[in-house]
A and B are shown apart, each in its own frame.
Chain A
């Protein structure tokens, strides 16, 4: 299994630029998620890697060999890249066995044992082999599509929003099966998604795309805790963003004084907190006071919307055991450090590392 390297990849459709110089490295045997809102170019990037489209400039290399750009193009069918499209894309005229064995050499296509192994790999019963695609559930179709892509032992597997058409419960289960199958085969995989929870929970590294550019490439924890800018921060999870004045490593903001990373220059900044960093307590003298506006109860946790004295509204995530009622006055404190972005309007500013 080889690694994938993408360098300076550029693509326009007509006069509309879609990708503006993407650089990306996917290590062998890892799962990388391409995360971005719709229209950010993530599916186009996937199609360029697969070889369904030609880039305007830049190169795609697989295991050190250039397959696209630099004057040579390897056609899709010779790249050895497995592709799992949205909604599976199973051939409707073939059975499950026919689909799974489609990419195998002719003499292996009739090998029932091989089909059984491949179905077992994605957690499906061999009894499904003679069904037709329309007789399968959405999750089963996705897994058959993965088995089909894995059958010829590709060096790389591309998954294009494979779970977006599944309902929530099925999505979890299918995700788990897919990750297990990918790990079991040691495949290198690239997954396109617009679902941040999916990207954070499944991937070894996440590439955030916006407006045809790669904004940040990091492992999920780094991405969540140290996003490069506030847009990315808000995209990968709920964010509490406040104006602050930074002096000597302390941010003074509407939630009181919060420590920030060393090296942040003194002056105006915007600070990022995550809702789970906010803590509520009984009102006391000297504390930051707030009034509970509303409570969204989810069972395992709850989202509490607070009106601060300064006229600001922020959200806190609390565990579901002990919740305030609407209209109640509470004291708000902050656990852990904030991430500060220097400058009064720091939406696109450089993040400063917090400890």
Chain B
């Protein structure tokens, strides 16, 4: 029941787009969609998405191989450094690059900035997959007479396919939804065009139809990934822990490998951090407004905390049902929340603006609508965590506690909640950190006068006041740093010391 409501909320933006399209009819839609302008945007968006995915796969798989499978020194450190770019929001990254090199407002510039921001989405799952590969398989293949190259192509690559595809999907979805970074680079895609349309005509049919095309692209990606992933699962057969694999000795290639990793981390992490710092110290005269910074940080933290609590609470029934009462309906409810959140933030925001103006004018530009947008966008992060926690809490513990004389309420307090707590905490933390750096939906939905770190940063940097924007960027990076630790920690456990 509760789970159904949650699913309905998640599907709200999608329903809005579909409803609107039906409303204006086929000819109306055709008139708005089949235009030279839309074709331009489509070309820009698609070539950026494809380019970013290709570059991210090359960088991500290469870096993952070096860190997990080669003898490169300081592998633990490199692992953390390669995940760390996720702590720098893409629009902050973009701000640093464009403020330092104003001629980067081209396809190449957009490709560079977006790739540097999103390649960890490929690196992380591929590194985990490399670690999961059973070295016995490679040894068997070598025993059957295959060389190094053939082993990679015929044994490792097929097993990495799911991780590479999953990572690519994430990168592509993020590129489709990316707004801030591209707006700042003045590289027009669907998101920036929707925003400009919204700014000039508020919520004209033009913006909605652009959103419709964008959503269609996202859905195509989801379906395509599902189709390419296939049905085959790659699980290790047999019991017992896999042996550690022996790293491939790089020998003379150690220095080039180190240089490549240094260059990657330098561009993706050191440049943005140094850039923010440079703008921060360059002009401290009157730009640093501590009181304003503190109040903005306070607002952001409060919003993020409420959103984290609310979203996790919403995730609880869905995640729990998906594990404990595994039926077709509960799986469908769970999937629909994923579907809902694959819709780009700008579309979610647009839908909520329009719906709230039409249906509930008294809610328009209020905090509850903003929180609803956060919930739609970030529900899956919470659900995934609740789900995995619930999977580690089998009914057995309930039965054992009952046989020891514990009542239903007592079991909830002493068994279920303590067992779920870490998963709920991790889910809430991920939502919290996502909200701290959320820009697009906040720009459109925040009540007048409410500024978060992201929107304050945005208005300063849009006005080319780079020094004034720097402190907000720095606080966002600092607040996001824990997410890096959270993401790399699980993975780090597998590395050989």
Instruction: Give complex CA distance A238, B325 in Å.
Output: 44
A-B CB contact pairs (8 Å), 14 listed: A50-B399, A52-B399, A75-B402, A76-B399, A76-B402, A77-B403, A77-B404, A83-B403, A89-B396, A89-B397, A92-B392, A92-B419, A102-B401, A102-B414
Which one of B403, B406, B418 contacts A50 once the chains associate, using CB atoms below 8 Å? B403
Instruction: Assess the B419–A93 pair: CB atoms within 8 A.
Output: yes
| B interface residues, tally (CB under 8 Å) | 16
| B residues near A89, Cβ cutoff 8 Å | 396-397, 400
Instruction: Assess the A76–B403 pair: CB atoms within 8 A.
Output: yes
| A residues near B406, Cβ cutoff 8 Å | 77, 102-103
Instruction: Give complex CA distance A83, B402 in Å.
Output: 9
Residue of B nearest to A92 (CB): B419
Chain B residues 388-432 with CB under 8 Å of chain A are 392, 396-397, 399-407, 414-415, 418-419
Residue of B nearest to A158 (CB): B403
* A65 CB to nearest B CB, Å: 17
A residues bordering B, Cβ < 8 Å?
A: 47, 50-52, 75-83, 85, 89, 91-93, 102-103, 148-149, 151-152
Instruction: Give complex CA distance A50, B418 in Å.
Output: 25
Instruction: Give complex CA distance A176, B403 in Å.
Output: 24
Residue of A nearest to B410 (CB): A77
| A residues near B397, Cβ cutoff 8 Å | 89, 91
Instruction: Give complex CA distance A109, B424 in Å.
Output: 28
Which one of A79, A83, A93, A103 contacts B399 once the chains associate, using CB atoms below 8 Å? A83
Instruction: Give complex CA distance A75, B410 in Å.
Output: 15
| B residues near A91, Cβ cutoff 8 Å | 397, 400-401, 415, 419
Instruction: Assess the A103–B405 pair: CB atoms within 8 A.
Output: yes
| B residues near A82, Cβ cutoff 8 Å | 403-404
Which one of B392, B405, B415, B418 contacts A78 once the chains associate, using CB atoms below 8 Å? B405
Which one of B404, B415, B418, B419 contacts A148 once the chains associate, using CB atoms below 8 Å? B404
| A residues near B419, Cβ cutoff 8 Å | 91-93
| B residues near A103, Cβ cutoff 8 Å | 404-406
Residue of A nearest to B411 (CB): A77
* A301 CB to nearest B CB, Å: 29
Instruction: Give complex CA distance A78, B399 in Å.
Output: 13
| A residues near B400, Cβ cutoff 8 Å | 83, 85, 89, 91, 148
13 further A-B contacts with Cβ under 8 Å, apart from A77-B404, A80-B405, are A76-B399, A76-B403, A77-B406, A82-B403, A89-B396, A89-B400, A92-B392, A92-B419, A102-B404, A103-B404, A103-B405, A151-B404, A152-B404
Instruction: Give complex CA distance A51, B405 in Å.
Output: 12
Instruction: Give complex CA distance A328, B403 in Å.
Output: 60
| A residues near B403, Cβ cutoff 8 Å | 50-52, 76-77, 79, 81-83, 149
Residue of B nearest to A93 (CB): B418
| B residues near A75, Cβ cutoff 8 Å | 402
| A residues near B402, Cβ cutoff 8 Å | 51-52, 75-77
| B residues near A102, Cβ cutoff 8 Å | 401, 404, 406, 414
Instruction: Give complex CA distance A47, B402 in Å.
Output: 12
| B residues near A148, Cβ cutoff 8 Å | 400, 404
| B residues near A77, Cβ cutoff 8 Å | 402-407
* B138 CB to nearest A CB, Å: 29
Instruction: Give complex CA distance A78, B401 in Å.
Output: 12
Which 4 pairs from chain A and chain B are nearest by CB? A103-B404, A83-B403, A76-B402, A93-B418
Whether A85 contacts B396 in the complex (CB less than 8 A), given A91-B415, A92-B419, A93-B418, comes out as yes
Instruction: Give complex CA distance A47, B396 in Å.
Output: 11
Instruction: Give complex CA distance A89, B401 in Å.
Output: 10
Residue of B nearest to A98 (CB): B414
Instruction: Give complex CA distance A82, B400 in Å.
Output: 8
Instruction: Give complex CA distance A103, B407 in Å.
Output: 11
For B174-200 the 0/1 string (1 means CB < 8 A from A) is 000000000000000000000000000
